[in-house]
Structure 1
């Protein structure tokens, strides 16, 4: 087996893409981020593979400060790949703050990482990855209508972005960076809003488009507007619009939040895999 680090995203993509296109929905996060790396949207990405006799066994991708994303192509060689990858990451002095992967793979990697480095790990997010091909037609919708967000909505979206991070336990993004992120979202026409009687009550955004699919993310309703069905309605309407352009939508849910999992299934989303985001002590 050979652990190969890539400095050039196009070279890495040539090796990883043939596998990723076969599982475009299950590994949409990896695939979508790879597209963004190729477009120059991330600085200093980490990209690596494990190969043997021309056969791809594992792929790794990280865009600091985000987690190391791990895919094991050959499940039967997972343990060998974990040993080799951890040895190489340690040898190369690559700081790993967290990982994200299929649950089985992530725990196997984290346990070996703890054994070799002494760093313990904890669950940051227990996730389910869901796919939607068609919105349930009989779904009852909340009053109001959706629209794309405009620059006039920037201040509200910035506020909700920070509240979303707080609610989900994500690391807090500096205000200046939030402003930059929101500007980029609005410039790309990525944010959907649900409005009722002149009041904006919920939002979502599209992210990481691939050849046939797109991710729904940043689903947020402020506390005073919750339990009125707005989030479900927003995601249903926004997803239906996205399905005019894409074959399918995917989204990640917090498995510890039964409400969100229930509403997405009511829309028509079906679980693909269990995923987990694990953090290592610093």
Structure 2
């Protein structure tokens, strides 16, 4: 049983094709990140079967895909034994993340703190909101970039990220240019909510960046734009449409289930002390 690592996306795809194709939902973070990752890894069983994958993004943040607890513990041993720069955070399904964090704490004395608990949902039958919110969905355009970037910063602040240190104009521009960011316009034609969707990879697309400014909340706009972007993903060829919710937010968890999303797995993010 062995971990292998590479910076070559083509080599990673070739080695992990069976697992990525069989478990696109559980591997959604790796599929989304792998083209821009600093490092990619896979875990093989004695018979050569790949049963775990990860993608490492700057600054030293591994995102686990489908991975066994055994592989997660072995990864901690690998990190310590190779004397490589140790991770600042790790994210993935709850069991493997806890196993990795506990093993790293034992082997290297690294303390760790849970920072976010998420739930991965997969769309079943898309169900439009009832009653439908007033207004309509439209694609965001170049003129929307400045204030959509500002909304993206507020979204990051809402979920506890260090928003001031990040560039939001670039990622927002990419999504808008590729036609992957929708806005909901209220009755007066003003944009009042937004949602984006990832590129479709291995048949899966992930809804994210669902945001409504505080002054516009409680009117159903998030439901409207989420239903619209989910339908756009399906129309664009996605066979699985996914999204993550913060388990501490019962409102969003209930909303997405009303739209037809069903739980897949729980996820955990942790940060490590020095």
- Cα RMSD after superposing both structures: 1.8
1:175-199 Cα deviation digits (max 9, x unpaired): 6x22222222222121100001111
Match of 1:219 in 2: 210
Match of 2:179 in 1: 189
Match of 2:124 in 1: 133
**Which segment drifts farther, 94-103 or 83-92?**
83-92
Match of 1:65 in 2: 59
Match of 2:74 in 1: 84
Match of 1:235 in 2: 226
CA distance in 2, matches of 1:72, 1:129: 13
Task: Give unpaired runs (5+ residues) of structure 2.
Answer: none
CA distance in 2, matches of 1:16, 1:239: 27
Q: Which runs of 4+ in 1 moved over 4 A?
A: none
Q: CA deviation at 1:137?
A: 4.5
Q: Does 1:165 align with 2:159?
A: no
CA distance in 2, matches of 1:156, 1:66: 30
Match of 1:258 in 2: 250
What TM-score results when the alignment is normalised by the length of structure 1?
0.89
Q: Is the 8 A contact 2:184 2:191 kept in 1?
A: yes
CA distance in 2, matches of 1:195, 1:49: 44
Match of 2:137, SS state, is strand
1:118-154 Cα deviation digits (max 9, x unpaired): 2211222100000113311563210000000001111
Match of 1:69, SS state, is strand
CA distance in 1, matches of 2:164, 2:201: 26
| Compared CA separation, residues 186 and 242, structure 1 to 2 (3 A) | same
Q: Does 1:271 align with 2:263?
A: yes
Q: CA deviation at 1:241?
A: 2.2
- Aligned counterparts, 1:113-124, within 5 A: 113-124=104-115
Match of 2:19 in 1: 19
1:26-65 Cα deviation digits (max 9, x unpaired): 222212222xx1xxxx2x6111223234232432221213
CA distance in 2, matches of 1:218, 1:66: 23
Match of 2:168, SS state, is helix
CA distance in 1, matches of 2:30, 2:221: 30
1:59-107 Cα deviation digits (max 9, x unpaired): 222121373122455x4xx33x334322222324133011111111111
Decide which of 107, 110, 120 is 2:98's aligned counterpart.
107
Decide which of 85, 98, 103 is 1:94's aligned counterpart.
85
Match of 1:26, SS state, is coil
Match of 1:100, SS state, is strand
